[in-house]
Amino acid sequence: MKQIHYISGILIFLFINLHLFNHLYGLFGVEEHIELMNTLRVFYRNIIVESILLLAILIQVISGVKLFLIKKKVAKTFFEKLQLWSGVYLAFFFVFHLGAVFIGRLILNLDTNVYFGVAGLNTFPHYLFFAPYYGLAIISFFGHISSIHRMKVKSILLEVKPSQQAYIILFSGIILSFILLYGLTNGFNGIEIPTEYHIVIGK
Ligand code: HEM
């Protein structure tokens, strides 16, 4: 089960890097973000790649919950605990985030572009939920990677110990989450959401 979890994790890791890079690119503006997403969609939103990605996520969530139940009593160190709890949050986030994207696409018939993703993040009081919801997902992603790095990497690169490297990965995630939230809210000034997306925020 550990091996299946590891392999599906690598596939998901590749997609999430592209996805977060797309959000980071949103710092240049919403139009630029959408333009890049349209290019990336050619690769990930075709029936083959998307089916593999969704299957990998399903495997990841189920195997992850099972591993959590087995390991929760034996996790002792900071990184062992971080691996478990960041995994639990990621499983929760995947279910709700993908559920929302597919409701948007199949039931609301919306183009699930950045406006769909950030409608809640740019509306009061919704952002009180969405800012920690997205922020914690990014931190959990980096937290999960940092704990795997701590356990797998034994050699010392650049004279920085593996545990220090793991902390660097974790703190990079925390910084990136603030940068992304800054970009996805137009420097905290708010992005104007087109009327067809108002249904997402209950207007
Ligand atoms: C930073 C805040 C985030 C926002 C605003 C956001 C928004 C979106 C949007 C709008 C889509 C639909 C993409 C499309 O239609 O092409 C999407 C898809 C997706 N997101 Fe996110 N996302 C965020 C963070 C994350 C994180 C942190 C993860 C993983 C840990 C993640 C995982 C996914 C996955 C797996 C998909 C499905 C791809 C597909 O099958 O089409 N997202 N997200």
- Helix H segments across 103-189? 114-118, 127-152, 162-183
Chain mean position to CA 199: 23
Closest residue by Cα to residue 14 from 62, 53, 51, 48: 53
Closest residue by Cα to residue 147 from 71, 92, 57: 71
Question: 112 CB under 6 A from ligand 1?
Answer: yes
Ligand 1 centroid–CA 8 distance in Å is: 17
Nearest atom in ligand 1 to the alpha carbon of residue 105 is 15
Q: What pLDDT score does 51 carry? A: 97
Closest residue by Cα to residue 109 from 47, 42, 37, 199: 199
Return the residue whose CA atom lies nearest to atom 17 of ligand 1: 101
Name the band, by pLDDT with cuts 50, 70 and 90, for residue 159. confident
Q: What pLDDT score does 73 carry? A: 93
Mean of pLDDT values over 150-169:
84
Maximum alpha-carbon separation in the chain: 55
Q: What pLDDT score does 156 carry? A: 62
Domain positions in the chain? 2-201
Question: 26 CB under 6 A from ligand 1?
Answer: no
pTM of the model: 0.95
Q: How many residues does the chain have?
A: 203
Q: What pLDDT score does 157 carry? A: 63
Question: 134 CB under 6 A from ligand 1?
Answer: yes
Q: What pLDDT score does 155 carry? A: 66
Mean pLDDT in the chain?
95
In terms of phi and psi (left: phi > 0; alpha: psi -120 to 50; beta: otherwise), the region of 153 is: beta
Contact (Cβ atoms closer than 8 angstroms) between residue 184 and residue 191: yes
Q: What pLDDT score does 26 carry? A: 95
Side-chain-facing half-sphere of 53: CA atoms under 13 Å: 18
Ligand 1 centroid–CA 9 distance in Å is: 16
Mean of pLDDT values over 105-128:
97
Ligand 1 centroid–CA 125 distance in Å is: 22
pLDDT over 70 (residue 105): yes
Name the band, by pLDDT with cuts 50, 70 and 90, for residue 69. very high
